[in-house]
């Protein structure tokens, strides 16, 4: 499971050290991570083989030729990069993905359970503020629904 948030420096070769806890969470024959442009945000999304398999399962649920399936195949499978760890636990981010999301100097790596995201530090600061507000509003709405259900069910 990928947990916590880390700021990492990107070196001149576009390498970042993957947090040790993240490396430990990935097990399997491939010693690295799968990364691709996130569908839900302006960042990279990554994870191990389990995440790749989960996306593949979602894609395969849709009929061949379905426009949503094609969009997911293009975005996830077509954007996928297999990034191997070097002996120091680093991955090298592809040029085109760095350019796409402005990843240079410092990045923020955010654990999200079965996946993680890699953001430019500045973009993540704004995103985090918006997500906190959305979480507050969503939790308040959920509490109202729960109270209403309890009162209506009593």
What residue segments make up the domains of the chain, in order of their start?
5-121
- Tell me the backbone φ, ψ of residue 9, rounded to 5 degrees: -85, 140
DSSP 87-98: TTSEEE--HHHH
Cα separation, 25 vs 115, in Å, equals 10
- Using only the alpha carbons of the chain, give its radius of gyration: 18
The structure's pTM equals: 0.86
| Residue 55 and residue 46 in contact, taking contact as beta carbons nearer than 8 Å | no
Give the tens place of pLDDT for each residue, 48-102: 888 899 999 999 999 999 999 999 999 999 999 999 999 898 999 999 999 999 9
Looking at residue 22, its pLDDT comes to: 86
| Residue 36 and residue 45 in contact, taking contact as beta carbons nearer than 8 Å | yes
Q: What is the number of alpha carbons within 13 Å of residue 142 lying toward its C-beta? A: 6
The second-level CATH assignment, the architecture, of 5-121 is 3-Layer(aba) Sandwich (3.40)
| Residue 2 and residue 111 in contact, taking contact as beta carbons nearer than 8 Å | yes
Cα separation, 47 vs 118, in Å, equals 11
Cα separation, 109 vs 4, in Å, equals 8
* Helix, strand or coil, per DSSP, at residue 57: helix
Q: Cα–chain-centroid distance for residue 62? A: 22
Give the tens place of pLDDT for each residue, 121-146: 999 999 999 999 999 999 999 999 99
């Amino acid at each position: 499971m990928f947990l916590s948030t880390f700021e990492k420096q990107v070196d001149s070769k576009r390498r970042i050290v993957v947090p040790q806890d993240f490396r430990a969470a990935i097990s399997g024959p491939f010693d690295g991570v799968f990364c691709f442009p996130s569908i839900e945000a302006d960042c990279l999304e990554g994870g191990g083989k389990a995440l790749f398999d989960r996306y593949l399962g979602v894609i395969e649920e849709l009929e061949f030729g379905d426009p949503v399936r094609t969009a997911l195949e293009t975005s996830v499978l077509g954007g996928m990069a297999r990034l191997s760890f070097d002996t120091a636990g680093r991955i090298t981010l592809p040029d085109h993905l760095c350019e796409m999301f402005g990843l240079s100097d410092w990045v923020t790596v955010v654990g999200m359970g079965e996946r993680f995201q890699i953001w430019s530090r500045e973009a993540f600061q704004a995103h985090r503020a918006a997500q906190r507000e959305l979480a507050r509003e969503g939790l308040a709405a959920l509490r109202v629904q729960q109270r209403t259900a309890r009162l209506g069910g009593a």
